[in-house]
């Protein structure tokens, strides 16, 4: 859906609600970007991302937060592309740099 974050429009919360009310959102994907997860929208064949009310892209630190935002707005079916995403519960191993899950097991 989104190739380059610089080439997409940003839709604030009020605009997002208007698009939903008009049934204009064709596709929704939670995607990983360098700064965090974003909610990508396909509207009228164009790509947008969910933004903040004060401007700029809204980045999420967890999949749960992004999914909750969609569900609270009535979107219960969506795709996700979490390539490159590492949840906060993963930590660097103090000895060598391997990723550890929440139980201390190496991934």
Could you tell me the CATH number of the domain that includes residue 20? 3.30.720
Pick the more confident residue, 28 or 91: 28
And the tokens for 86?
A: 């590492």
89: in domain: yes
106: in domain: no
| Percentage, residues of the chain above pLDDT 90 | 68
Q: Which of the four pLDDT bands, split at 50, 70 and 90, describes residue 87? A: confident
Domain that holds residue 38: 5-100
Query: Average pLDDT in the 12-22 region?
Result: 96
Q: Which of the four pLDDT bands, split at 50, 70 and 90, describes residue 83? A: very high
The predicted structure's pLDDT at residue 2: 55
Using the structure block, give the residue that is written with the tokens 């596709």. 27
68 with 62: CB under 8 angstroms? no
Q: Which of 27-36, 73-82, 83-92 has the lowest mean pLDDT?
A: 83-92
d(CA 26, CA 43): 6
90: in domain: yes
The predicted structure's pLDDT at residue 71: 97
The structure's pTM equals 0.78
107: in domain: no
Query: Average pLDDT in the 34-55 region?
Result: 94
Domains: count for the chain:
1
d(CA 99, CA 76): 31
Query: Average pLDDT in the 53-77 region?
Result: 95
Residue 86: pLDDT above 90?
no
d(CA 97, CA 38): 27
């Amino acid at each position: 859906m989104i190739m380059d974050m610089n080439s997409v429009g940003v839709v604030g919360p009020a605009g997002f609600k208007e698009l939903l009310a008009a049934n204009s959102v064709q596709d929704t994907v939670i995607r990983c970007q360098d700064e965090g997860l974003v909610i990508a929208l396909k509207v009228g064949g164009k790509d947008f991302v969910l933004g903040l009310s004060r401007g700029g892209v809204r980045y999420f630190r967890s999949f749960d937060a992004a999914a909750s935002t969609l569900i609270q707005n009535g979107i219960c079916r969506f795709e996700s592309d979490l390539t490159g995403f590492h949840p906060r519960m993963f930590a660097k191993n103090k000895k060598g740099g391997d990723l550890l899950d929440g139980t201390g097991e190496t991934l």
